[in-house]
Amino acid sequence: MMMASKKSNKWKKPQSRKNTNRIPEPAIPGNTKSASRESSGEKGFRLTIENYFRKKSTLFFIISLLLTAILGLYLFDIKINEGGDDSSYIEMAHRFIKGKAFPTFHGEFYSIFLGIPVAIFGINLFVLKLTSYLFILGHLIFFYLTFKDRISSTLLVFTMLIISVSSNILFFSSQTYSEAMFMFLQSLCFFLVFKLLDRLKENKLNNLHLWPLWISSTFLIFLLVITRNIGLAMLLSLAAYLILDRKYYAIIYVVILYLFFTYSFEFYKRVSWDIDKSALAQQTDYILLKNPYNAALGKEDFAGMVTRFFANMKMYLSRHFFASIALRSADKTDASFFPALILIILFFSGLYFAFRKNKSMLLTGIYLGIAVFTTFITLNQSWGQLRMIVVFVPLIILFLASGIDELSKTKRLGILYPLLLFLFIFIFFKSLGQSIQKARDNDEILKKNISGNLYYGFTPDWVNFLKMSEWVGKNLPDDAGVASRKPSMSFIYSKGKEFYGIYRIPLENGDSIINRFKRENRKICIYNLSDLGRQKVPVMTQMQIRRSTDAVIGQSSDLYGVHQLYDSAENPLVSACRHYGIHYYLEPDTFLQVLRNGTEQSYGIYPDSLLNNLKKNNVSYVIMASLRMNPKMKTDRTVNTIRRYLYYIELKYFNLFTVVRQIGNEDEEPAKLIKINYENAGL
């Protein structure tokens, strides 16, 4: 085989101590045979451009750093983000510092890190967000230091310029999301790993004296993983690279060190903290669910995972990536396979050239392939946000550009090089224009927020919700349990009061509830709850019927109550159904057939389980807000998780909830504070 040949084997150790990944002066990086196929004019043009940017690379790096610093300040957002995850990191940091809980659901290390400024400055949003600003600057610094002399200076300079003015990347410079820290750790990790690989080439025999690099690079990989699980792609890509480079002993070093850091960390957590293992298990369950907010739809099978992969590939590559480089509007939600396919072809072209010519870019390409592929597999389509892949955007730009650059060195594709330069320039100015416009839009909001008005810039639905959270923090006793759809945001604006989160409703498939009654040999009567109102059943009779409900099953617009029959005599519920003309079923199989004949998926819920869950967590009040489904427009559609949660309980219990406080009129997207009267449910 060709790779077995000593002359052609590109994975053999170099004959000299010189780093083969470094770009010699003044030759253009790349294969000399490919370059020789270019015309002298094309070669001269490329050489002139490359020499210019090589000499001026430090200047352009400083310019990029200044652009990032200036635009980052103008785009700075002091408010908490509506997504809620950013405030969750702060709340977990606060709980960690206070010794209440160890952060488990989100990236552990970011919350641990935020605990430092929280311990010093308290919950100071400006200080906490400033750390992300510094991380973005640090990312750009190590991005430059990592790839300087490892790839064409032209490609590196233009990539830095683009990411320095990208409003989509700069957005995370003032958010307490983990993205900014991850990007910093990622670039620093590449920097140290490349340093280690360089030294491994220089030292052919004994490499144990490189222990500072072994430890620091592996420790950085470990931190990357506990910041975001996708960081494991760095470990896997490094292992794959070392296998290709036949440095098997190096894999042993890395794996042993990584396992040492991982198990030491796990030992610390087990000894020092009471870890909620169920929360850890839920993460895997959420990944496999068809809809993470509706478990009744079940889990994905193999075909479903394949469908998810291609749907995510289309969405992230053709929509979010192109939006991140200003080649399409972020407001457009459509996606197409064609742009995604073009990017994939360019990626594999870049991987081919990297394998033949540039080992640094090969490791980068393997890392991107593993990380992005895993992202497409594990993320549910409903989580489709730019932040899921924004951490890879700088590397994707650089890697794809390197592939196009190598393609342009072939004689027939020489036109690609000037087109690439034109595309770089166009993207830079388009991104710069977007950032300047967003900075202008942010100017008034930033001034108001700095002056102390932290509600300015929110839409009325959020203002009312956050003001209600603030009111709760000021007026309710510390031991009064309050539930919220966005508990971490309520935590921030209530100045540190902890809220119970209601994120989703524990729905399950309607069939499973009926089958559970069947397996337990319990006789049941299933009646149409909707008929209670349609048939003009007296209020007292309705209350008696509903109070006997053990479970609720819904399908389309129909709701059914499930009542267990405890006696063999004529049941009052059955008699009432017959008397008032309420549709009912005594045979479970007959009802199951009705569900299966329906056009929509059925779902089921136990009202008592919902109520008991609130009681168990000492919830006395619930904030029910009118948060918009479409954040840019007021419509009748709102995020109704809380409303539905309480509605399913109300199907069984009357007069259980009382509105004790309302902020905002009914036509002003109000927030309501609801008291739970447990005594009316006999609790």
pLDDT digits (tens, 9 = 90+) for 136-185: 999 999 999 999 999 999 999 999 999 999 999 999 999 999 999 999 99
> In whole angstroms, what is the distance from residue 192 CA to residue 179 CA?
20
CA distances from 679 to 657, 675, 676 (A): 11, 12, 9
Give how far the C-alpha of residue 71 lies from the chain's centroid of Cα atoms, to the nearest Å. 24
Q: Which two tokens stand for residue 176?
A: 């307490």
User: Quick one: pLDDT at residue 278?
Assistant: 56
Cα–Cα dist 530/561, whole Å? 9
**Is residue 14's pLDDT more than 70?**
no
pLDDT-based confidence at 291, cuts 50/70/90? low
Long-range contacts of 646-651 (CB under 8 A, 24+ apart): 646/622, 646/674, 648/505, 648/552, 648/605, 648/607, 648/610, 649/607, 649/610, 649/611, 651/529, 651/546, 651/549, 651/552, 651/559, 651/561, 651/607
- The first and second tokens of residue 239, run together, are 């292992």
Using 50, 70 and 90 to split pLDDT, how confident is the model at 307?
confident
CA distances from 92 to 107, 110, 175 (A): 10, 10, 15
* Terminal C-alpha separation, the chain: 77
Q: Is the pLDDT of residue 9 over 60?
A: no
Give per-residue pLDDT as tens, 396-451: 999 999 999 999 988 888 899 999 999 999 999 999 999 999 999 999 999 999 98
Degrees, nearest 5: CA angle 418-421-422: 85
Pairwise pLDDT comparison (623 vs 84), residue with the higher score: 623
| pLDDT reading at 640 higher than 50 | yes
Q: What is the pLDDT of residue 30?
A: 41
Q: Among the listed ranges 208-217, 321-330, 531-540, which one has the minimum average pLDDT value? A: 531-540
Written as six digits, the tokens of 673 are 């504070």
pLDDT at 92 over 90: yes
Task: Name the percent of the chain lying above pLDDT 70.
Answer: 88
Matching residue, tokens 């050489």: 47
Hey, where are the domains in the chain?
A: 29-293+320-430, 460-505+610-681, 510-601
Alpha-carbon gap, residue 93 to 84, rounded angstroms? 14
Residue 359 confidence (pLDDT) above 50: yes
What's the length of the chain?
Answer: 683
pLDDT tens per residue, range 565-613: 876 556 888 888 888 888 889 889 999 998 888 888 889 999 999 999 9
pLDDT band (50, 70, 90) for residue 384? low
C-alpha Rg value of the chain to the nearest Å = 30
Confidence (pLDDT) at 171: 94
Q: Evaluate if residue 20 carries a pLDDT over 90.
A: no
| pLDDT in the model for residue 188 | 97
Q: Which residues contact 368 (CB under 8 A, 6 or more apart)?
A: 347, 392, 395, 396, 399
- Tokens describing residue 22: 């470094």
Condensed to tens digits (0 to 9), the pLDDT of residues 21-43 reads 444 333 444 444 444 455 666 67
pLDDT recorded at residue 546: 87
Please state whether 659 falls in left (phi above 0), alpha (psi between -120 and 50) or beta: beta
pLDDT at residue 15 in the model: 45
* Pick from 456, 396, 472: nearest CA to 427: 396
Q: Which helix (H) or strand (E) holds 554?
A: strand 551-555
Percentage, residues of the chain above pLDDT 90? 54
Rounded Cα distance, 463 and 458, in Å: 6
Give the model's pLDDT for residue 41: 61
Task: State residue 315's pLDDT score.
Answer: 84
Q: CATH class for domain 460-505+610-681? A: alpha beta
Residue 100 has pLDDT above 80, yes or no: yes
Q: In sequence order, which residues have a C-beta less than 8 Å from that of residue 495 and are 6 or more positions away?
A: 123, 470, 473
Output the pLDDT for position 81: 87
Residues 194 and 261: their CA atoms lie apart, in Å, by 21
State the pTM of this model: 0.84
Measured distance CA(77)–CA(12) in Å, rounded? 51
What pLDDT does residue 208 have? Answer: 67
Please give the mean pLDDT across all residues of the chain: 86
Highest averaged pLDDT of the listed ranges 187-196, 275-284, 584-593: 187-196
